[in-house]
């Protein structure tokens, strides 16, 4: 179960927290307002906030919110990954040599990034890379050769 209720608000998953603590956490994760401004809005001193940070329940609620945001980010990245990859490959046909070169270098670095990601999360299923057409492969090899010079 995710920490958002059906109306889009965070559910109060930790009953040990006060309404004020939950309001401060909601404010911090709501968006554009600085933490100091949120604390002032709720009449919470930095000292009290630091004390809350020492509370296991407060930290646990904070961690749940961060986990939820990370999950949302991963979903967004997964949703647009194929579109981004297709755009990157299309940039290898650019008339601008610098754009073409940078796209090739980015494509070359993708397997390394996937390896790093897999090392971090070994349970993830990394799909094998699709075979590049000969023209794109040629451009990639040329960019790699220039990079090694």
Chain segment 5-18, per-residue pLDDT in tens: 545 555 545 568 99
The reply to whether 53 and 114 lie within a common domain is no
Chain segment 34-50, per-residue pLDDT in tens: 999 999 999 999 999 99
The reply to whether 75 and 101 lie within a common domain is no
Q: What is the mean pLDDT of residues 58-69?
A: 93
Does residue 85 form part of some domain?
Answer: no
Say what the pTM is.
Answer: 0.54
Domain limits for position 125? 92-149
The reply to whether 42 and 75 lie within a common domain is yes
- 118 pLDDT higher than 70: no
Q: Which residue has the higher pLDDT, 125 or 26?
A: 26
- 115 pLDDT higher than 70: no
Does residue 33 form part of some domain?
Answer: yes
The reply to whether 97 and 69 lie within a common domain is no
Buried b (16+ CB within 10 A) or exposed e, 19-53: eebbebbebbeeeeeeeeebbeebebeeeebeebe
The reply to whether 60 and 132 lie within a common domain is no
The total number of structural domains in the chain stands at 2
């Amino acid at each position: 179960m995710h920490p958002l209720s059906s109306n889009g608000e965070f559910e109060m998953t930790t009953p040990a927290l006060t309404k004020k603590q939950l309001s401060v956490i909601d404010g911090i994760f709501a968006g554009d307002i600085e933490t100091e401004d949120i604390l002032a809005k709720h009449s919470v001193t930095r000292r009290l906030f630091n004390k809350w940070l020492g509370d296991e329940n407060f930290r646990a609620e904070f961690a749940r919110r961060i986990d939820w945001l990370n999950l949302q980010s991963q979903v967004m990245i997964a949703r647009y990954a194929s579109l981004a990859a297709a755009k990157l490959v299309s940039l290898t046909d650019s008339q601008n040599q610098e754009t073409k070169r940078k796209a090739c270098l980015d494509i070359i670095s993708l397997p390394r990034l996937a390896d790093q990601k897999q090392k971090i999360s070994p349970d993830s299923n990394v799909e094998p890379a699709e075979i590049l057409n000969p023209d794109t492969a040629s451009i990639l090899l040329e960019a790699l050769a220039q990079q090694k010079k």
